[in-house]
Chain A
Amino acid sequence: MNQRAPIEEQIDLPFVESLRISFQSLKIRFGRSIITTAGITLGIAFLVSVWTNNEIGIALQESGRQSTINTFEETTEKGISTKDIWLIVMSLIVCVVGIANSMLMAVTERFREIGTMKCLGALDGFVVRLFLLESGFQGFSGALIGALLGTLGAVLLGLKDYGLDLFFYFPLLPSRPEDGPMQLGVIVVILLGCVLGMILAVIGSSFPAWRAAKLPPAEAMRTEV
């Protein structure tokens, strides 16, 4: 207890320590983590299913095997309809808003915890890093599950529309037909879905976490949710 010595500077914590604390937090709040993650899963599942469905539609049209029950009446020569574009844009918006909302809620209900950690000597950056790690992991795992579910949904829908032909022309890899638009392929769509889910989760949580970490602890702890 060198009480009269000048006040020293707070040290940075090793990364492993942050990793351990954030995983412990996820594990113990498993129920709540699942709900937050489910928000991400649903958003990404919706987006990926619409997107994959569209990829499948284009691939089968390119192959000359039109759907027996083609519901897209406005299909252009190049195989992509304005309706498809609208659907993708809409699902992207739903996905962004849904994930941002889940993460905002999850962080806001922990303002008091953030204030307490600062009372115990946590640096602002450490608090933000904890939330970044937690949400990054939640975002990635939620989005991966969502992307796989979404793909499964799109495949089932495709089977209904195209029958087993679907598997002969399944757009797994990126391709560029001579006269058609670039096709991303299902694998790239899944990857993009995962990355998007993770980025949205990290942005959605680190912004409020950063705001809470900047507040004086007294104010953060006063916040009622």
Chain B
Amino acid sequence: MPDIVVKTEDVVKEYRMGSNVLRALDGINIEIERGEYISLMGPSGSGKSTLFNMIGALDQPTEGQVYIDSQNMSHLSQRQIAAFRCHRVGYIFQSYNLLPVRSAHGNVTLPMIFAGIPEKQRNEKAEELLARVGLGDRMYHLPDELSGGQRQRVAIARALANDPSIILADEPTANLDTITGREIIDLIKQLNNEQGVTVISATHDLKMLDVSDRIVDIRDGLVERIRNRDEIEIEVGEVGGE
């Protein structure tokens, strides 16, 4: 029996824009297994970022349920949601979302401060994580003093701070050049392989295809199709051969 880490049931999200109602998600049903690398693909406006927000408890669905580790997210208290974001999920965003007032090291320690980890321990862990993402020599630089790729590495280190079971990455390579983007994808894939962390990534970067176990194509707020790795490899071969 597969170990399901994320499950959505008929998830609907509507946004009210003046008198218009925009249906961003129109009943999404997906199941994600522990340790999988999933890419949510689709053009902009397809609803993939909205779905990403629902899975990460960054927003609430208008209708339907999201289950994570068999917990119904809509039944959680404010404190439980905060603890969930703090311990269970690591977020990586397109625009990095580092706190500009804190150094790389300060950004990585923040989730550990929220988790109540003692100072000495969290400083050591931050150093270890930053070294692992290749920023051992730039730990005390402010985000403004780092390149895009370096900022995204800080964000990855920060996402790993509290040993989450899920990494949620929203267009992590969209602001990066091809080579840097590739490096970031490889780093995320490496974490997926080595630590067995589940990776859920919203993307329309084709480089993400060949590292994904499954690809969920989202279109107009619905799951269009779900492709497995073996199907993907064939398609990547075709793309590469053109």
A112:B97 contact, CB within 8 angstroms:
yes
B83:A10 contact, CB within 8 angstroms:
yes
Contacts of A4 in B (CB 8 A): 69-70
Q: A1-B165, A113-B99 are in contact. Are A119 and B58 (CB under 8 A)?
A: yes
Instruction: In the complex, identify which listed stretch (B74-82, B210-218, B233-241) lies at the interface while the others stay far away.
Output: B74-82
**Top 9 A-B pairs, shortest CB-CB distance:** A121-B86, A10-B82, A121-B114, A10-B83, A218-B59, A218-B58, A218-B53, A9-B79, A3-B165
Contacts of A117 in B (CB 8 A): 99, 110
Contacts of A11 in B (CB 8 A): 83, 115-116
Is B111 close to A, CB under 8 A? yes
Q: A119-B58, A218-B59 are in contact. Are A8 and B80 (CB under 8 A)?
A: yes
A216:B58 contact, CB within 8 angstroms:
yes
Contacts of A219 in B (CB 8 A): 59
Contacts of B102 in A (CB 8 A): 24, 28
B79:A123 contact, CB within 8 angstroms:
yes
10 more contacts with CB within 8 A, not counting A7-B84, A217-B85, are A7-B80, A7-B83, A10-B80, A10-B83, A11-B116, A13-B116, A120-B110, A123-B78, A216-B58, A218-B58
Q: In the bound complex, what is the Cα–Cα distance between A1 and B88 (angstroms)?
A: 8
B85:A17 contact, CB within 8 angstroms:
no
Q: In the bound complex, what is the Cα–Cα distance between A116 and B60 (angstroms)?
A: 17
B101:A221 contact, CB within 8 angstroms:
no
Contacts of B163 in A (CB 8 A): 1
Is A161 close to B, CB under 8 A? no
A120:B165 contact, CB within 8 angstroms:
no
Among A3, A6, A118, residue most surrounded by chain B Cβ atoms (within 10 Å): A3
B73 to chain A, nearest CB (A): 9
In chain A, residues 58-94, which have Cβ atoms closer than 8 Å to a Cβ of chain B? none
Contacts of B91 in A (CB 8 A): 119-120
Is B7 close to A, CB under 8 A? no
How many interface residues does A have (CB within 8 Å)? 34
Is B146 close to A, CB under 8 A? no
B118 to chain A, nearest CB (A): 11
Q: In the bound complex, what is the Cα–Cα distance between A92 and B165 (angstroms)?
A: 54
Contacts of B78 in A (CB 8 A): 123-124
B234 to chain A, nearest CB (A): 33
* A-B residue pairs in contact (CB < 8 Å), sample of 10: A3-B5, A7-B84, A7-B88, A9-B77, A24-B106, A119-B56, A121-B82, A121-B86, A218-B58, A218-B59
How many interface residues does B have (CB within 8 Å)? 42
Q: In the bound complex, what is the Cα–Cα distance between A117 and B97 (angstroms)?
A: 10
Considering the complex, give the chain B residue whose CB is closest to the CB of A3: B165
Contacts of B53 in A (CB 8 A): 216, 218
A118 to chain B, nearest CB (A): 7
Q: In the bound complex, what is the Cα–Cα distance between A49 and B93 (angstroms)?
A: 50
Is B18 close to A, CB under 8 A? no
Considering the complex, give the chain A residue whose CB is closest to the CB of B103: A28
A121:B101 contact, CB within 8 angstroms:
no
Is A203 close to B, CB under 8 A? no
In chain B, residues 157-202, which have Cβ atoms closer than 8 Å to a Cβ of chain A? 158, 162-163, 165
Q: A9-B77, A24-B101, A216-B58 are in contact. Are A119 and B116 (CB under 8 A)?
A: no
Q: A6-B71, A13-B114, A218-B53 are in contact. Are A119 and B97 (CB under 8 A)?
A: yes
Q: A7-B88, A10-B114, A219-B59 are in contact. Are A28 and B101 (CB under 8 A)?
A: yes
Considering the complex, give the chain A residue whose CB is closest to the CB of B52: A218
In chain A, residues 90-142, which have Cβ atoms closer than 8 Å to a Cβ of chain B? 112-113, 115-124, 126
Interface string of B40-80 (1 = CB under 8 A from A): 00000000000001001011100000000111000011111
Contacts of B110 in A (CB 8 A): 117, 120
B83:A121 contact, CB within 8 angstroms:
yes
A130 to chain B, nearest CB (A): 11
Is A25 close to B, CB under 8 A? yes
